[in-house]
Amino acid sequence: MTGSSSSDRENDGSKQDWLDSRLPVRRFLTTQFRSFPMPRSANMLWTVGAMLSAVLVLMLLSGLVLAMNYTPTVAGAFASIEAIERRVPSGWLLRSMHMAGASLFLGALYLHLFRGLYYGSYKKPRELVWLLGLLLLVMTMITAFAGYVLPWGQMSYWGADIAGKALASIPVIGPFTERVFLDGSQPGDGTLHHLFVLHFTLAFAIVAVVGLHVAGVHVAGSGNPSGVESDRKGSLPFSPYFAIKDALGVAVFAIVLTAVMFLFPDLVTESANYRPANPLHTPTNIEPEWYFLPFFGMLQAIPFKFGGLMASVGAVAVLFLVPWLDTSPVRSARQRPLIRLSMILLVASFVVLGLAGQHHMKGIWLIIGRCATVFYFFHFLVVLPFVSRRERAVVESAS
Ligand code: HEM
């Protein structure tokens, strides 16, 4: 018995060596995931990356089945979604998973981004990890928008119409860009076809960029809440310590997703989108999904359309400059009281902008929305460079 198990082990070992000498999968998994050193102090916010990766897999699998049953034409789109809901086996479940998953994915993405801003995760040596993350944010936003148009309900149609008009406001190339986007003068078959291809292709491109993003984290090493790079003593192997922590994060995420799907589906659905698109009837209240509301707020905060477009595009663009706007040697907001205060106000501005967007900047919301827009840019363009300069001077004079 003992003899046979030791020869089995030898056999297993030689099989692994055979594979590893040709394609070092085991060596890669061991160094990159099993013994990868993680800072001991990494808190639960460091599990959000794992949640995002897990929900991305769920989105791809559910999306593949939905795409097999979807018709990307004006005549067939709405009916094919109805068929998925009523006739495709478990179609309602897959669609509900895909819709709730998209909403929570964006929510987790914002949390991951604000974690990075708060703890200074964008600083050397993680600038490229940050930039790839932002590329993922932009790709996810485009994918989510394209997906929202696909059911061809009232909100889908009028959402595409507003996006087209926003593009048309760009000086000189605006009307051309709108035509390319809509493939005509108003949303129709061409628009739906463009957006279906974009939605499908970007979803897989996101997986490739996630690979680069995570590879970047593994080259630079993981950061931590204290902002002080951890040495060997301050680290623990990823498995089992952080593998279990990530599994806990993913389990909590799965519970929230299940609760949204089965108990609070209204949180992620818009009743107007259960009415087929009608180009002759403009809904009284056109608004995007909750995760676009802060940007929708900025779009409306400026009195002329192109200015609004610049503000909402600029709100994402400014994030790409953050590693160069914040040049302080101090990394984490834990040690930066002014940045901590400004970050709290920044998050408040983002939420308030969403509320102002939802209220269409009417009445007092216009003033509140404008103040929040100004503060959003003030944080990045004034507070970050100013505080960095002061902190640099203090550190230089102390050394
Ligand atoms: C599809 C979306 C994304 C996925 C699947 C993803 C996944 C991950 C994973 C697995 C990690 C390592 C674990 C962790 O630190 O949580 C990570 C780290 C990181 N991510 Fe993302 N990410 C995404 C989007 C973003 C975005 C939008 C940003 C912000 C611009 C970003 C910035 C970062 C940074 C700076 C780190 C390193 C943090 C540190 O170690 O201090 N990621 N990401």
**Tens digits of residue pLDDT in 140-177:** 999 999 999 999 999 999 999 999 999 999 999 999 99
Q: Which of 265, 286, 307 is the last residue of a domain?
A: 286
pLDDT the model gives residue 3: 46
Among 48, 135, 136, 380, the mutation site with the greatest number of ligand 1 atoms within 8 A of its Cβ is 136
pLDDT the model gives residue 10: 64
**Tens digits of residue pLDDT in 321-341:** 999 999 999 999 999 999 999
Same domain flag for 262 and 299: no
pLDDT the model gives residue 2: 45
Written as six digits, the tokens of 156 are 């889908």
Q: Which of 238, 258, 286 is the last residue of a domain?
A: 286
Same domain flag for 268 and 391: no
Question: What is the distance in A from the centroid of ligand 1 to the CA of 221?
Answer: 12
Same domain flag for 57 and 170: yes
Atom of ligand 1 nearest to the CA of 217: 37
Same domain flag for 257 and 213: yes
Any known ligand binding at 199?
Answer: yes
List of the chain residues with pLDDT < 50 = 1-3
pLDDT the model gives residue 12: 65
Q: Residue 381 is part of which domain span?
A: 287-399
Q: Is the peptide bond before 72 cis (omega within 30 degrees of 0)?
A: no
Q: Does residue 318 contact residue 377 with C-beta atoms inside 8 Å?
A: yes
Same domain flag for 297 and 187: no
Same domain flag for 264 and 324: no
For residue 37, what are the β-bridge partners? 237
252 in any annotated domain: yes
Among 129, 229, 319, 331, the mutation site with the greatest number of ligand 1 atoms within 8 A of its Cβ is 129
Atom of ligand 1 nearest to the CA of 319: 30
pLDDT the model gives residue 160: 97
Same domain flag for 269 and 306: no
How many structural domains are present in the chain? 2
Which residue has a Cα nearest atom 10 of ligand 1? 49
Any known ligand binding at 193?
Answer: no
pLDDT the model gives residue 1: 39
Rounded to a whole number of angstroms, the CA Rg of the chain reads: 24
pLDDT the model gives residue 6: 62
Helix locations, the chain, DSSP H: 2-22, 25-29, 48-68, 77-86, 91-119, 127-149, 154-168, 174-182, 189-220, 243-262, 293-301, 305-325, 337-358, 364-378, 384-398
Hey, which residues are catalytic here?
A: 218, 222, 245-246, 289
pLDDT the model gives residue 7: 65
Does ligand 1 lie within 6 Å of residue 50's CB atom? yes
pLDDT the model gives residue 17: 83
Same domain flag for 245 and 315: no
pLDDT the model gives residue 232: 81
Which residue has a Cα nearest atom 1 of ligand 1? 136
362 in any annotated domain: yes
